[in-house]
A and B are shown apart, each in its own frame.
Chain A
Amino acid sequence: MDRAVLGIMALLGIWDGIRLLGVKTFVPEPLGPGLYLLAASSLLLLALAIESIPQLLGTARGKPVQRTPASGSLTVYRNPVLQAWLGLIFYTVLLEFVGYLLATLLFVVLSVWIFGERRLGWVAVSGGTMTLCFYLIFKKLAAIPLP
């Protein structure tokens, strides 16, 4: 799947590069924006193909394909990394609707739970304390703009 994603990226680059080949620039130049993009994307596709050769040859010969061992379920319930990432997305969406303090409090409490703390009291206390510290440090002390 990783190679497929990279391959799609290369194909999109080739498509956009071809589109730009027909565009005239103010100052004529041998290597325009389109040709450079086309070249880089084509090189990416070629490099990806070369990188995939050992695996393809192994598959063709019937040898077991060496894959990174799958770790972690794809179901959210059993995959803490997926939970944490969805929590980040939730946090980012929430920032625009409820403001920094409330969104951060909810996120930090959720994250502390995801990262393994199961004592509800500690989850609440550490979440609240961290949120307050962040607010004081960023807003009051460092005057950093908050979402």
Chain B
Amino acid sequence: MSSENLKKTPLNAVHRALGGKMVDFGGWDMPVQYPAGVIEEHMATRTRAGLFDVSHMGEIWVEGPDAIPFVNSITTNDVTKLVDGQAHYSAFPNLNGGVVDDLLVYRFAEDRLLLVVNAGTTEKDWEWITSLKKDENVTLRNASADYCQIAIQGPKAIGILQELTDTELEPIKYYHFTEGKVDGVNAIISRTGYTGEDGFEVYASADKAEQLWNKMLETGASEGILPCGLAARNTLRLESGMSLYGHELDDDISTLEANLGWITKLQKGEFVGKEQISVLKEAGLKRKLVGFEMKEPGIARDGFDVYSGDEKVGVVTSGSPAPFLKKNIGLAFVPPELANVGQEIRIDVRGKRLAAEVVPTPFYKRQK
């Protein structure tokens, strides 16, 4: 299997040296797991610490006096509510009631915003954003290739990272960030993550990736840190009830259907796609995202059909074993009248319709 045409993060050689099993992820040559295996990596993150290369994500700077009004006009969440050093989860709505991508918006200053977008959609997002810019006084800059991004997640993450920085980490609130030095390297230190655990995402210059990665692994060795691949990243985010673009969100899925009404601030003023979202809301949603748990042995997978009685009523958007909870779980779209906790549904698993039950999300919540 040739990896020649695949994009590589600055940590590619390191992943291979660690025995990473490499796969094509949206055009990127990435480790799906390391020799420890998915379950070990997942459990390490929940009980100790896990280290993730997320350098393939995209970073787009929006700078200038109109930065806030511009970003506010192209996203669902309310950018005017952010303060310096704060980030929020958001989405780019399209003109069909769907979503171009989900993202994090970081406010560095009133005239400096950083948009962090998904790896597989960076180009698409860049084209979309630049096409929406009219005569606003902003400069857009796709700086994705300049950055590496390493996530350190888990109860021991803060202790490990603190050994490498003079920046006081404990006072950084969840979804807040600061600029500092990690192992002497200039970095953005963000208390964010995609695992449901406490932890940080560190952004730095791409040429410092190996140094930072190796230092974090070395420093965290005594605490039992493990490098974690994309498989564990997926089981961790699913257990935490977090959406993945292309599954729970897509060009034809709105934030309202995906249970993301909380990042959809219709009252904030005009924004691209607001009309279509409002029309959808007025008409009433035809489907809602729910979490479910299998009640019979068997594993629901992405794309499996959901049944109520003999009727096909929906589809599984993400399904997998949940290593920490030791259950088989999933997220699915069902009609709103079936979207209640306790509702019995059936999942078609390769021809057998197995019993499942709607449960509250997140499936897993960390101890505070």
Q: Do A and B bind each other?
A: no
What is the interface of chain A, defined by CB distance below 8 A to chain B? none
